[in-house]
Amino acid sequence: MPDILNRAEIEELLQFRLTTEKNASDQSIRLNELFDDHVLLKYLEQAGTCIGSPDVKVTASLFVKRYAILAVISLYAMTSWNKKINMSFQNISLQTEEGDRNWLPRFYFHQMSVETACTDRIRFREDVMKEVFLYIYAIITQISKVTKQSKQILWENISVYLFWLYEKVLTKIDDKEIEKRVSEDYYYLINEAPGSLFGDCRENPLKKFYGNKKYEDQNQAEIRIRTTCCLYYRLEGSPKRCNTCPHFCRSEEPI
């Protein structure tokens, strides 16, 4: 019988837009429902109206940026606690608060069941990643089919959040054992994970986005410039580009 996440672990995951409160409104939708083309298109059109998106392709890109947090939730639990969360589409609902102009949906897990790593952690890590990326591959394929948005943009939207997880979030944990897993898991994710781990991909779709960072005087930080634009700047009232945008003029003020 699978275990469940304890209260402390759930509290940690709240930082990634996890919610424990079920929303029964019409703005809540189970992920498996999005594989109906008409339902997905209607959902994206409603979201686009909320955030001031000019078309469904822009909305598709921003949807996947928000959806990327699910991968963060899964890999955070894997690396921090050696736990595999039930990430099936039937188990997760997207919940949007009424009047949320930023459209930042929260994730409600109908069951918080988990499996704990056995003695073979390498096999366990592969199983976790294969499952989470199979689901990501499926949602990217569906969204790209319905909206004609480039899979390249959608995969990079996923990658930037995973880079953030392993370079910024997990590195703050002061635990030698976890530090070792962070290093090993991140190296595997970028350098060793084969394309077959990511659905029907011939190559690892994240590796191509793992470029060198460049120091930006304006930001006083090292920044990894994207290879594609996420199209955030095209939202109504958001004329500026992200500071990682490949088309961003460095003389502008970043966002």
State whether 162 and 218 are in the same domain: no
Q: Report the distance separating Cα 234 and Cα 230, nearest Å.
A: 9
Total domains present in the chain: 2
Domain assignment of residue 111, given as a range:
3-207
State whether 110 and 193 are in the same domain: yes
pLDDT number for residue 40: 98
State whether 147 and 218 are in the same domain: no
pLDDT number for residue 143: 98
pLDDT number for residue 136: 97
State whether 216 and 200 are in the same domain: no
State whether 155 and 246 are in the same domain: no
State whether 133 and 245 are in the same domain: no
pTM: 0.93
Q: Report the distance separating Cα 104 and Cα 67, nearest Å.
A: 10
> 10-residue block means of pLDDT along the chain (255 residues)?
86 96 80 98 94 96 97 98 96 86 91 89 96 97 98 98 97 95 98 95 96 80 92 85 76 40
pLDDT number for residue 185: 98
State whether 109 and 216 are in the same domain: no
State whether 215 and 203 are in the same domain: no
pLDDT number for residue 252: 43
Q: Report the distance separating Cα 250 and Cα 246, nearest Å.
A: 10
State whether 111 and 53 are in the same domain: yes
